[in-house]
Amino acid sequence: MTQLKYKPSIYNNIYRKNDKNYLYHSFSGHLCIITDEYREALGRNDFSVFDEDTRKTFIRKGILVNETLDEFGSFYAHSLNSQFTADPSAVFIMISTTGGCNYHCPYYLQGKHDEERDVEDRTIRYLTEYIRSLQKTLKKVHITWFGGEPLAKDGCIEKISKAMISLCEENRIEYAASIITDGSLLFPSINKLHELHIRSVQVTFDGNEEVSCARKGCTEIQHRLAECAVIIYAKAGIDISVRFNVDESNIDSCIEEAIILCSETIRTGAASFRCYPALIGNGGKEIIPDWGLNAKLKFIHALAENGFISIVKHLLPKARFTSCGALCDANIYIDEKGNFFRCEHHVGCKEKECGNVFTGKTYSSFYNSFHDLTIPEKCRKCSLYPVCRQGCFDDRFQNGASMNCENFHTYIENIISLMDT
Ligand code: SF4
Ligand code: SF4
């Protein structure tokens, strides 16, 4: 029998920090510390120094791959399949229950806060037909509720959820949901979340009480309610994440709030809590501008210094075949009027609508052009491609935004070197 020959994966990243060699594989996510001898052996393709267990682990975790494997080509083939498959095993649907919101965030997409929704029944009928059409291969349906403030229309969430839960049960399809909320309009009980299969909640903050109230137009009580929502949900075992909207001026305030929330959740044993900084206000020109890198580094180092390493670990991105679900034909984005879009940035833009729940999906030239097909040579060879994917596709596609590769590498290296603290 021919003995397989191996080579080091192109997705191996070795970072030297604090006299240690951190080996991180960006596709499998495997992270370990290796000796200088092992690092040098990987560098010169001589694996004779590895003991048998290490060799097997390295093969299992993708650190050593078959000599003939075209790793990028294989990854790219999966990416195309995820984008174009007509027989998906999972569909992700985002539904805006209302364009209205109880706050007045300056970066709110549509800039409208007062629209009404009355298309629940048609949405249920459309989704029922759609899910039935995929019955042969479909194993999982996931709905994300968003808005505006989705909980301003909790009746709509309840009505559509119940219809989808019963349809999925009937067809033995797994159903789960998540919600993106400002956190101030709590569900009446945690049981209600369970009843509607809402497994994860994302709450958005702009900083501490003072900064959040000034930016979002919320009251101190609303800010406190959002904090309580996070703590209560986390303690109840709901998978909860806090997104901090960060621009050039509010990172210190976001860190202050993050430490309050981490202290109240992690230290009391709620393992399901995470928080992260999301860069806004960079005009879509650079995915990680210098100020954004500095803000992210400040955030992770502050968490590490305060002992919240488990949160920092969650910030290491996971490998994905597409940069986001918006690129996959099977997924649907539905606004409060029943219109379809490819991406949340497009909501409210008439020329980017791709059909609606009344007439079905429209494969317009815009729709068909929203696919990630041309991968630059530098990315084909990049050791972080599985976790980078060049950032938000819409920012690239519409604004020509670039990733700022050096900043991305620095960010990942910093997270990895903190994991061991
Ligand atoms: S954009 Fe830069 S960091 Fe990202 S995959 Fe391409 S080369 Fe790598
Ligand atoms: S393309 Fe960008 S903005 Fe649109 S859904 Fe994906 S990550 Fe979000």
pLDDT at position 111 is 46
Residues 53, 131 share a domain:
no
For ligand 1, residues with CB inside 6 Å are 378-379, 382, 384-385, 388, 390, 403, 405, 408
Q: Which of 157, 8, 79, 144 is nearest to 319 (CA)?
A: 79
Residues 135, 153 contacting (CB under 8 angstroms)? no
Beta bridge partners of residue 178, listed in sequence order: 144, 200
Residues 135, 28 share a domain:
no
Q: Is position 172 within any domain?
A: yes
Q: Is position 140 within any domain?
A: yes
Residues 331, 271 share a domain:
yes
Measuring CA to CA, how many Å separate 8 from each of 41, 62, 76, 396, 400?
Answer: 10, 8, 19, 31, 33
Where does residue 262 rank: exposed (0-12), middle (13-18), buried (19+ CB within 10 A)? buried
Residues 106, 201 share a domain:
yes
pLDDT at position 110 is 46
Q: Is the CB of residue 394 below 6 angstroms from any atom belonging to ligand 2?
A: yes
Beta bridge partners of residue 391, listed in sequence order: none
Closest ligand 1 atom to 379 CA = 6
pLDDT in tens for each of the 421 residues of the chain?
566 799 999 999 999 988 999 999 999 999 999 999 999 999 999 999 999 999 999 999 999 999 999 999 999 999 999 999 988 999 999 999 987 766 666 655 544 544 454 578 999 999 999 999 998 999 999 999 998 888 888 889 999 999 999 999 999 999 999 999 988 877 667 888 899 999 999 999 999 999 988 988 888 998 998 999 898 888 888 899 999 999 999 999 999 999 999 999 887 777 789 999 999 876 667 889 999 999 999 999 999 999 999 999 999 999 999 999 999 999 999 999 999 999 988 988 999 999 999 999 999 999 999 999 999 999 999 999 999 988 889 988 888 888 889 999 999 999 999 987 5
Residues 152, 11 share a domain:
no
Residues 206, 62 share a domain:
no
Residues 96, 52 share a domain:
no
Of the listed ligands, the closest to the CA of 410 is 1
pTM, full prediction: 0.91
Closest ligand 1 atom to 287 CA = 1
Residue 91's identity, in one-letter code, is: V
Of the listed ligands, the closest to the CA of 326 is 2
pLDDT at position 421 is 58
Q: Is position 83 within any domain?
A: no
Find the 393 Cα to ligand 2 centroid distance in Å: 6
Residues 138, 45 share a domain:
no
**Hey, which of 335, 343, 397 would you mutate to test ligand 2's pocket, going by the most ligand atoms within 8 Å of its Cβ?**
343
pLDDT at position 18 is 82
Q: Is position 77 within any domain?
A: no
Closest ligand 2 atom to 391 CA = 7
pLDDT at position 398 is 83
Range of the domain at 221: 90-421
Residues 95, 58 share a domain:
no
Closest ligand 2 atom to 392 CA = 2
What sign does the dihedral 101-323-229-418 (CA atoms) show? negative
pLDDT at position 420 is 73
* Number of other CB atoms surrounding residue 135 within 10 Å: 10
CATH number at residue 134: 3.20.20.70
